Amino acid sequence: MTDLLLRNGRPWTPGLPLRSADIAVAGGRIAAVGPGLDLEAAEVIDLDGAIVLPGLVDAHCHLDKTMFGGPWTPNTGGRTLEGRIANGEGRRAELGVPSADYAANLLRAMAAAGTSFVRSHIDIDPEVGLGGVAAVREAAARLSGAVDVELVAFPQGGLLTRPGVPALLEAALADGVGTVGGLDPAGFDRDPTGQLDLLFDLAERHGASIDVHLHDRGLLGAWEYELIIERTKALGMAGRVAISHAYAMGGLEPDHRRRIAEALAEAGVAMITCAVGGAPSSPCRSWPTRARCSPSATTASATCGPRTATATCSAASTRCPSATGSCPTRRSSSRSRPGRTAARPSSGSTGTASRSDATRTCSP
Ligand SMILES: [Zn+2]
């Protein structure tokens, strides 16, 4: 007797045609995948041909800032980065953030739409200290493992320009946060080598990853990519470093952009970018193939249509569920690092085909 049997789904595996198959779930894990499984189950759901995808990955979120489910609050921070940062910090007490309640509201909405992994940057500064880390951890625990939340200790208000922040980042990493963040080493801290040397030193000593918000554009931004690439290669940190936003990429000359993309791929530096108003988008389709497939642990994603069921592997990968029903090996290595904060089922299972996730997202 298995716990759950999903009949007549079409599991998606990259490069293979969609074929009808049943999926058996036992103990929170995919136990078997195949056509016409001859199994008894406590619960049977007919997917009626729905496509079964891996859990979606949200590689860049700020759960400590959300007011999801709360009252409408207009932006009063103006249009500059500095103004928005100062506004957000100055109104924390008034708005009641960071809030475990708001963060849990957003996580529930994400889970209902099929997201099973979130990387969340958490503000770290002398005013809030590690309060955001505690709030988001509490929110993640309330989801009982439906979403894995990876935390980034993020010096949003400056790292070198703000006394006490390096020590707070150190404390966050010592407390189990697995990734240290940065912000515009040149444009915000005005000391690019100083900020990056500090970040890489922290990451190396704590076995952490790095994820740098980089809004600086043009040749300044491109030069900062090179500084990050140099340090990643020197310290052997391939696969553990990411550049978020990366607004400079869209504005570079094509040859320059290609060289940067190749260098990022060779060094194993991931890019987590987005469309942004006022800056040219990065034409990712023109990048070298190996650059588009750079080995990031947090860049995979998949889409979820209206007739789609999600069998959650909750890993940062697009390769689950496979024909064998096993989750990718990358998952076990990533879980061995600190900073994954989601509460898992008491069985301690890793790759999961969550019944609740599947049923929440397979409605026609
Ligand atoms: Zn961000």
Which pTM does this prediction carry?
0.76
List pLDDT tens digits, range 93-110.
999 999 999 999 999 999
Instruction: Measure 254 CA to ligand 1 centroid, in angstroms.
Output: 26
Distance CA 240, CA 236 (A): 9
Instruction: Measure 215 CA to ligand 1 centroid, in angstroms.
Output: 10
Instruction: Measure 257 CA to ligand 1 centroid, in angstroms.
Output: 23
What is the rounded average pLDDT of the residues 330-354?
35
User: Would residue 151 be called left, alpha or beta, if left means φ above 0 and alpha means ψ between -120 and 50 degrees?
Assistant: beta
287 band by pLDDT with thresholds 50, 70 and 90: low
Q: How many CB atoms lie within 10 A of CB 260?
A: 23
For residue 243, the enclosing domain spans 56-292
In sequence order, the β-bridge partners of residue 26 are: 29
Residue 38 and residue 70 in one domain: no
pLDDT over 50 at 359, yes or no: no
In sequence order, the β-bridge partners of residue 51 are: 10, 308
CATH number at residue 351: 2.30.40
Instruction: Measure 213 CA to ligand 1 centroid, in angstroms.
Output: 6
- 338 occurs within a structural domain: no
User: Which amino acid appears at position 4 of this protein?
Assistant: L
Of the given ranges (135-144, 271-280, 310-319), which has the lowest mean pLDDT?
310-319
If one compares 2 and 336, the residue with the highest pLDDT of the two is 2
What is the distance between the terminal CA atoms of the chain, rounded to a whole angstrom?
27
pLDDT over 70 at 329, yes or no: no
Residue 135 and residue 76 in one domain: yes
Angle, CA 148 vertex, CA 88 and CA 291 arms, to 5°: 85
- Nearest alpha-carbon partner for 149 in 173, 116, 175: 116
Q: Which pLDDT belongs to residue 360? A: 26
Residue 311 and residue 282 in one domain: no
Instruction: Measure 59 CA to ligand 1 centroid, in angstroms.
Output: 10
Q: Tally the C-alpha atoms within 13 A of residue 316's C-alpha that lie toward its C-beta.
A: 21
Looking at the structure of the chain, the number of domains it has is 2
Local structure of 117: helix, strand or coil: strand
List pLDDT tens digits, range 289-316.
555 543 333 333 322 222 223 332 222 3
Instruction: Measure 216 CA to ligand 1 centroid, in angstroms.
Output: 14
In sequence order, the β-bridge partners of residue 56 are: 115
CATH number at residue 248: 3.20.20.140
Residue 127 and residue 97 in one domain: yes
Instruction: Measure 79 CA to ligand 1 centroid, in angstroms.
Output: 15
What is the rounded average pLDDT of the residues 262-281?
86
What is the rounded average pLDDT of the residues 4-31?
94
- 330 occurs within a structural domain: no
Instruction: Measure 354 CA to ligand 1 centroid, in angstroms.
Output: 29
What is the rounded average pLDDT of the residues 153-169?
95
pLDDT over 60 at 174, yes or no: yes
5 band by pLDDT with thresholds 50, 70 and 90: very high
Instruction: Measure 337 CA to ligand 1 centroid, in angstroms.
Output: 22
Distance CA 79, CA 215 (A): 14
Residue 34 and residue 71 in one domain: no
